[in-house]
Structure 1
Amino acid sequence: YIVSDCDSVGVLYNTQHYTRTPEEAAADAIKAGLDLDCGPFLAIHTEGAVRGGLLREEDVNLALAYTITVQMRLGMFDGEPSAQPFGNLGPRDVCTPAHQQLALQAAHQGIVLLKNSARTLPLSTLRHHTVAVIGPNSDVTVTMIGNYAGVACGYTTPLQGISRYAKTIHQAGCFGVACNGNQLIGAAEVAARQADATVLVMGLDQSIEAEFIDRAGLLLPGRQQELVSRVAKASRGPVVLVLMCGGPVDVSFAKNDPRIGAILWVGYPGQAGGAAIADVLFGRANPGGKLPMTWYPQDYVSRLPMTDMRMRAARGYPGRTYRFYKGPVVFPFGHGMSYTTFAHTLSKAPNQFSVPIATSLYAFKNTTISSNAIRVAHTNCNDAMSLGLHVDIKNTGDMAGTHTLLVFAKPPAGNWSPNKQLIGFKKVHVTAGALQSVRLDIHVCKHLSVVDKFGIRRIPMGEHSLHIGDLKHSISLQANLEGIKF
C-alpha cells in the first residue's frame, strides 16, 4: 500500500494551497492512489469529502483493502499477537551479535575513498604506532546515526575504533562542528607533531544539516578548514581527512593539498561507524563505496537559485545533477577508489539493435523522422527489448576488494539529451588475482530512452555510447517497421 510522508496531505491545503478546501485535498490524495495518511488529516476530512460528493465510498474501501490486506499477510488478524511467530520480538532480538555485525558491514560498505595519494592508506600498525585523532567528529556517538534513527545497541566512536589499532592522542580542535573559534587548534598542532600519523575527523551534524535546517553553503563550517590546514602543516606523519556528513562538501583545499594524503567520506555510518572507519584506515577492510551524488564547488550554489528547479542547463544556469551539469566538480558522481585495482573486459555485447514500431506508418513518420527518436509508447516494450552486457572483472592488485561496476549511457546528440545517465550497476567481491564475470541487462525502453523538454519519453535512434567502468562500447539503434529498417 501507499503511505504519505507525515502531514503531507495537510500541506496540500494548508501550505501549498493546492486545493480550496481540506476535503478536496483528502479526495485528491486518495483518488491519486494514497492508501494511508501519516497524520490525522484523512481521518478528519475524508468523511466530509464523501458526503460532499468529492470522493466515492468505493475509493475509500479500496484504500482500506490495500492496507488491511498487508496487515493480514503479516498475521495481525490471526489472534493473540504474542502467539504469532514474530509476536514476542524485543530489544534482545535487535542487538544480537549477527545484527551488530551487519551494522559494521553496512558501515564498511558505505565508506568512500575519495583521495589516496602515494598509497597513504592503509596505515600500518608496524609503522604508525601513535595516531593523532583530531576534529569535532572524532569522538561522537549520536552524530553517527543521523536523524530518524532508533536507539543504538551501543556506539564505537572513531577515537575508540582507532585505539584498537594504535596508541592515540586526542584533540577536538574545535568546540563542535560549528567551529567558531581557533582556541583549540594549537593543541591539535602539538598532537600532530607527536604522532606517527594524523587522522582528522571533520564534517557536519544535525545542527548544520537536517530536516528544516538547510545549509548556507558547501564549505566546511567555521574554522574547520583552518584546523585541517594547520594540522596538516604541523604533522610529521601522513595526514588523513575523514568527512562525516550527509551532503557533499567542497574540500578542494584538501584535495589539492599534497600534505593531505587521503580523504574518506563516511556519511553518517551508524553505531559501528568508528570501528568501520578504523578498519578501513588500517586495511582490515577495503573501501569500495561510490559517491551517490555530485560534489559541487562552493560557487555552484551562487549560480543556482533555489526557486529554479530546472534540470537542464540554460544560458546563465548550470543545470542539476551529473546528467545535465557540465561544469567543474570537486568529486564526480560515482567516484570511489580502492586499495586494489580492477581491470574490465567486455566479453559480449551487441553492436546494433532494431527497435520495432508497433504503430502506423503515420505515427512512425511523426515520431521518428521528425525528431530522429521513437516514442516509447509507439514500440512494444517487452523482454525482447533487453540487451545483455557481459563483463569480466579482474582484480589486478594484491588485496581482495568489492567493486561496483557502473554503466552509463550517452545518447546521440540532441537538444533533449542528457549528458549521460546511469543505467545499471553490479557489485561484486573479487579476491586478489581472481576474475568475476557479470551480466547486466540493458532494456532499450527503460534504459536507453530519454525524456524530452516536453516531458515525452523517446528512444533516440543512432549511436548510443556505453561507458562500462573504464570501457566504451557503442550500440546503434535503428527503427524497424514491418521488417523495413530506417
Structure 2
Amino acid sequence: MANKTLFMLLLSHIILCFSIVFSNLDASLAEDGAPHFVHVCDPARFEMLGLDMDEFAYCDKSLPHHVRAKDLLDRMTLVEKADQMGHGTSVGIPRIGLPPYNWWSEALHGVSNTGPGTHFDSVVPGATSFPTVILTAAAFNQTLWKTIGKVVSTEARAMYNLGRAGLTFWSPNINVVRDPRWGRTLETPGEDPFVVGLYAVNYVRGLQDIEGQDNTSDPNSRPLKVSACCKHFAAYDVENYLGLDRLHFNAKVAEQDMIETFNLPFEMCVKDGDVSSVMCSYNRVNNIPTCADSYLLKKLVREDWNLHGYIVSDCDSIAEIVKSHKWLDDSWEDATAHVLKAGLYLYHLILMRMDLDCGDSYKYLPSAVSQGKVGEADMDKSLNHLYVVLMRLGFFDGIPALASLGKKDICSEENIELAAEAARQGIVLLKNDNETLPLDATEINNLALIGPHANATDAMIGNYAGIPCKIISPLEGFSAIGEEGVSGFAGVNYQMGCAEMKCQNDSMINSAVQAAKKADATLLFVGLDLSIEAEWVDKEDLLLPGYQTQLVTEVAEASKGPVILVIMSATAVDISLAKINPKIKSILWAGYPGEQGGRAIADVVFGNYNPGGRLPLTWYEASYVDNLPMTSMALRPVGDYPGRTYKFFNGSTVYPFGYGLSYTNFTYERKSEEMSIDIKLNRLQHCHNLTYLDENYQQDCPSVSIDDLPCEDEIEFDITVQNAGQRDGSDVLMVYSIPPKEINGTHIKQLVGFERVYLKAKESKKVNFGLNACQSLNIVDVSGYRLLASGLHKIVVGDTALQIPVQVNYNR
C-alpha cells in the first residue's frame, strides 16, 4: 500500500510538472513572435493529458459561466481549492485538466514586469512605457486616458498570446493624494476624487472593453480584453512616516471624508467602469484591517456598488494582519477565516469576501475549515468569482477577435507616438516671463543642458514599469532638435550639476555655472526620483533635495541667455525662489514623462507643441507640512491644521490645483442668466437641517438627501471658448461648483466637469456641458448624508472669470 501511495504521488507530481510545461508551451513555441496560445478547453490539450474533454462540463461553452465554474469546483478536494486561492500558488490540477495560472501582472502605465505573471525576453524585449499616471492625469483628457488603456491592453493581450503575460492586471492605483509627501503620488491621478474616478473609469474601460461587446444584459458574462483592478481600497496613502509604516498604520477617518473623498473613485470605478477586480489595502481603517472589513468589502463593493468580479488582497496583507496589526490576536487560521468572510457576522449571514490572496496565507484554509472557523462553501463562492473572471477573459475558451494579436502589436510606431503625445499633453507651463518660450531653434548656437535629470532615462519611467521600447532622454531630444536648427549649431553642453538626485555636495556646480555662462539658452533639469518618492518612501519636506536649490540659483545668476527650469517630480516642490527669480524666465513641470519624455519636453520648449496641461495637485509652500502630520486624515481644517487639497485649503500656494499656462490666450463667453431648480417634495421626502455660519440665517427646507430625490434635474449650458492668440493650442475648460456661502463646513469648491479643447489661432468653439444637479451640487454632511442644499449655488468656469448662479428651491 505504501509503495502504491508513493507511486501515485510520484505520478501526480509528473503530471503536474507536465501540465505546467504544457501551460507555458506557447512561450517555447512563439520564438517567431507569432501568437501560439492554446486555451484550457482545447480537445488536443486534454488528449495530451489523457483526458476526455467531453466528460468535463466546465468546458461546455453552452453552459453559463457560473455553472461551469461550479462543475470545476465540485471536482476539487479541499486542499486543491486552497491551492488555487493564492496569486502564485494557483498550481493547477492536472487530473481534471486545470493548468496553473499566476494572477499577478501589472499595467499601471504600460505592461510591467513587476508582477511575476509577466516577463520580457528576446521575443518581447519591451512594451510601450507611457508617462506615469500623475502626468497623464495633468492632460485632463478623458479620450487620451481611454486610448492609452486600449493600447496597453492590446500589448498585454499580445504578450499573453505569446506566453509572456497573464490576463489579470492589478492596475490602476486610484487612491486620492491627500498629502504632498506621499511617495506613491506618481502612480495616481492626483488629489481630486472626481478626476481620479473619471481617470479610473476611462482607463479601466480602455483595458477591459472589447469593441462591440462592451454592453451586455449579463455583466458577469461580458467578455474582457484583460482584467483591470482598482486599488488600494481604502484610505491608503502612508508609506513610511517618521517610522510608522503602511503595514501598521490605522487610518482614523470620519465617515464624511470616507464618502466624499476616499470612497468616491472606487465607487465610480466599480459602477461606471465595471472593473472586474478591487484590491484591499494594507492599513486599517478605524481599527479594522481593510481586507477583513465586512462593511467595505461586502456592503459597499459587492452589494451597493455591485462588483462583477473578485476582491484581492494587497500582497501578504493576510500575513500582516497577523504579524503587524496583530488584530484580535488572530492565529493564521483566524486571519484567513476573517478575510474570507470579510470579518463579521450580521444577522447570522456570512459577510463575504476577499476572494484571492496575493501571497500564500490561504494555505491555512483547510485547517481553518477543520477547526470550524470557516466553511468550504465559503471557499467555493470565492473560487467561483475567480473562475468566472477567467472564463470572461477567454482563458478557458479563447476569444477569436483577440487571437491574432502578437509581436507586431507591441512597440508599434503608433504606440510610441501616443506615449510622446501623452507626455506633451501633460506637461504644465508654470511660468513664462516675456514669452521666453518657445525658443527659436534657429537662434540657438550653444545650448546648455544642466542638472541631474538632463540625461534622465530610467527616472522618466517611474515605478511599476516594464522595459520601454525606446527611451529618448532630454539630452537626446534637445540634441536632435538643435541639429535641425541652423548650420552653426555648436551642440549641447551637458553638465550634471549633481552627482545624484539627492545632490549631497556642490562639487559639480562650478562646471554647470561655466556652461551657463557660454550658452545662448540654459535648460535646468532638477526634481526628484524614486530614491526620494516611491512605494515605501514618503518625503520629509517639499524642497528640492540637497544642493539642487544652490545649483539652480548659481546657474541662473551666471547664465548668459534665458534660463528655463524643468521640474521632474510627482509631488509638489516649493520652487518659490525660482518663481520670483527674474533670471529664470520659464518653468515647466514634466512629471515623469515616460519613454519619449526627452522628445516631448524638447517639442514644448522649441514650440513644436503648445503646452496645455494643468496641475492635478496643489503645490503648497514648504511650511505647509510643518503643522500637519501625515497621520492626520481630516481634509477640513481642524485647529491649527490648515486643511488639505484645493477643496478645503484656503491658504497661500506656490501654484494652485488646475494651474497651467499656454503660449496663446483663451477667452470664455456665455450669456449671463440665472438658473432655477424648483423641486416639489412629497410627504415621503423630508428635509435635513444644516449648520449655517450665521445662526440667524434660516431656510424653510435647508436640504434633502439625494437618495430621496429623483435627481432628474440637469444644468445645461454652452461656453464659447476662443483662442485669441497667434498660436494653435489646447485649453482645458474646468467647471467647478460652489455651495451656498451661508453653509458651514462645506468644500470651498469642487470640480464637476472639464473638457480639453483644441483650437487653431483665432478659432472659436462652443462647448456644451450637462451637469446632473444632484451629482454636481451635492454636499456631504458630518453624518455622511449626500445632500442637495437649497439656496444660491454657483457654477464657475475657469478662475472664477465666468459664473453661473443656480438657485435651488424646495416647496410642498
Q: What CA distance in whole angstroms lies between the structure 1 residues aligned with 2:407 and 2:478?
A: 28
After superposition, residues 341-420 of structure 1 pair within 5 angstroms as 341-347=665-671, 351-357=675-681, 360=684, 363-364=686-687, 372-381=702-711, 384-413=712-741, 414-420=743-749
For residue 189 of structure 1, the aligned residue among 513, 529, 537 is: 513
Other-structure match for 1:119: 435
Q: Is 2:132 the counterpart of 1:132?
A: no
Structure 2 residue runs of 5 or longer lacking an equivalent are 1-275, 280-313, 344-349, 483-490, 691-697
Show the 5 A alignment for 1:32-43. Answer: 34-41=354-361, 43=362
In the alignment, the residues of structure 2 paired with residue 421 and residue 365 of structure 1 have an alpha-carbon distance, to the nearest angstrom, of: 22
CA contact 2:569–2:591 (8 Å) conserved in 1: yes
Distance 1:157 1:344, change over 3 A: same
User: 2: CA distance between counterparts of 1:132 and 1:103?
Assistant: 26
Please report how far the alpha carbon of residue 473 of structure 1 lies from its aligned counterpart in structure 2 after TM superposition: 1.4
Q: Distance in 1 between matches of 2:508 and 2:552?
A: 12
Which deviates more, 53-62 or 216-225?
A: 53-62
Q: Does 1:28 align with 2:359?
A: no
1:15 aligns with 2:324: yes
1:6 aligns with 2:315: yes
The 1-side partners of 2:587 and 2:652 are apart by 19
Q: How far apart are residue 39 of structure 1 and its match?
A: 3.0
Partners in 2 of 1:58 and 1:477 — Cα distance?
A: 51
Whole-angstrom CA distance in 2 between matches of 1:94 and 1:473: 47
Are residues 1:477 and 2:776 paired?
Answer: no
Using structure 2 for the length normalisation, give the TM-score: 0.56
Indicate whether 1:299 and 2:627 are aligned. no
| CA offset digits 1:293-343 (Å, max 9, x no partner) | 100111101110122111111221101111111111010000011111111
Kept in 2, the 8 Å contact 1:189–1:234? The answer is yes
TM-score (norm 1): 0.91
* Aligned CA distance change for structure 1 residues 136 and 371 (closer, same or farther; 3 Å): farther
Indicate if the aligned counterparts of 1:27 and 1:46 stay in contact, CA closer than 8 A.
no
Deviations along 1:70-107, whole A, 9 cap, x unmatched? 3323322116x9xx554565554311111111111111
| Larger deviation, residues 101-110 vs 70-79 | 70-79
Could you tell me which amino acid in structure 1 is paired with residue 726 of structure 2? D
What is the alpha-carbon distance in structure 2 between the residues aligned to residue 59 and residue 440 of structure 1?
47
Question: Which deviations, in whole Å up to 9, do the C-alpha atoms of 1:394-441 show, x marking residues without a partner?
Answer: 111111111111111110132231111111111111111111222222
Among 271, 284, 294, which residue is 2:595 paired with?
271
**Residue 673 of structure 2 contacts residue 805 of structure 2 at CA under 8 Å; is this kept in 1?**
no
Aligned pairs for 1:37-52 within 5 A: 37-41=357-361, 43-47=362-366
Q: CA 1:188–1:465 in 2, change beyond 3 Å: closer, same or farther?
A: same
- SS state of the match for residue 434, structure 2? helix
Alpha-carbon deviation of 1:350? 5.8
Determine which of 733, 756, 779 is the counterpart of 1:427: 756
Q: Using the TM superposition, give the Cα deviation of residue 52 of structure 1 relative to its aligned residue in structure 2, in angstroms.
A: 5.8
Alpha-carbon distance between aligned partners in 1 of 2:754 and 2:682, rounded to the nearest angstrom: 30
Conserved? CA contact 1:359–1:379, under 8 Å = no
Query: What secondary structure, in the 3-state scheme, does the structure 1 residue paired with 2:511 have?
Result: helix
Change in Cα spacing, 1:387 to 1:38, as seen in structure 2 (3 Å) is farther
Q: Give 2:807's aligned amino acid.
A: S
**2:611: which partner in 1?**
287
Distance 1:280 1:330 in 2: 22
The one-letter amino acid of 2:396's match is F
Correspondence for 2:567: 243
SS of residue in 2 equivalent to 1:208:
coil
Specify the code of the residue in structure 2 equivalent to 1:182. Answer: D
Which residue number corresponds to residue 484 of structure 1?
none
Structure 1 residues 387 and 63: alpha-carbon distance in aligned structure 2, compared to 1, 3 A threshold: farther
CA 269–370 in structure 1, closer or farther in 2 if over 3 Å, else same: same
User: Residue type of the partner of 2:278?
Assistant: V
- Check whether the contact 2:340–2:355 (CA below 8 A) recurs between aligned residues: no
Query: Structure 2: how far apart are the matches of 1:53 and 1:386?
Result: 54
Find the residue that maps to 1:209 and give its secondary structure.
coil
CA shift in 2, pair 1:63/1:342, >3 Å: farther
Q: Determine the C-alpha separation between the residues in 1 that align with 2:673 and 2:372.
A: 57
Residue number in structure 2 paired with 1:198: 522
Which moved further from structure 2: 297-306 or 28-37? Answer: 28-37
CA contact (8 A) 2:688 2:704 kept: no
Q: Given residue 573 of structure 2, which amino acid in structure 1 is its aligned partner?
A: V
Shift of 1:347: 5.0
Q: How many residues align?
A: 474
The letter of the residue matching 2:720 is D
- Tell me, in whole angstroms, the C-alpha distance in 1 between the residues paired with 2:383 and 2:713: 37
Letter in 2 for 1:421: Q
Report what 1:67 is aligned to. Answer: 386
Q: Does 1:316 align with 2:640?
A: yes
Tell me the amino acid that sits aligned with residue 364 of structure 1.
C
Alpha-carbon distance in structure 2 between the residues aligned to 1:209 and 1:392 = 41
Give the distance between the partners of 2:688 and 2:422, measured in 1 at CA: 51
Q: Distance in 2 between matches of 1:349 and 1:56?
A: 63
Aligned letter for 1:293?
A: L
Per-residue deviation at 1:385? 2.4
Q: Is the Cα contact below 8 Å between 1:416 and 1:451 reproduced in 2?
A: no
Q: Is the 8 A contact 1:295 1:329 kept in 2?
A: yes
Greater Cα offset, 202-211 or 448-457: 448-457
What amino acid is aligned across from residue 162 of structure 1 in structure 2? F
Residue by residue, what CA displacement relative to the aligned partner does 1:263-293 show, whole Å, maximum 9, x if unpaired?
A: 1111100000000000000000111111011
Deviation at 1:26, TM superposition (A): 2.9
Question: What is the Cα deviation at residue 18 of structure 1?
Answer: 4.4
**CA 1:400–1:51 in structure 2 vs 1: closer, same or farther (change >3 Å)?**
farther
In the alignment, what sits opposite 1:252?
576
CA 1:57–1:389: 2 relative to 1, 3 Å: farther
Higher share in strand:
1
**Unpaired segments ≥5 residues, structure 1:** 482-486
Task: Using the TM superposition, name which of 85-94 and 185-194 deviates more.
Answer: 85-94
Q: Report if aligned partners of 2:701, 2:810 keep a CA contact under 8 Å in 1.
A: no
SS of the equivalent of 1:165 reads helix
Q: Is the 8 A contact 2:340 2:379 kept in 1?
A: no
1:76 aligns with 2:406: no
Report which of the two has the higher share of helix. 2
- Backbone CA RMSD of aligned residues: 2.4
Equivalent position of 1:461 in the other structure: 790
345-354 or 164-173, which deviates more: 345-354
Distance 1:400 1:33 in 2: 53
Shift of 1:55: 5.3
Amino acid in structure 2 at the alignment position of 1:2: S
Greater Cα shift, 2-11 or 439-448:
2-11
Distance 1:355 1:216, change over 3 A: same
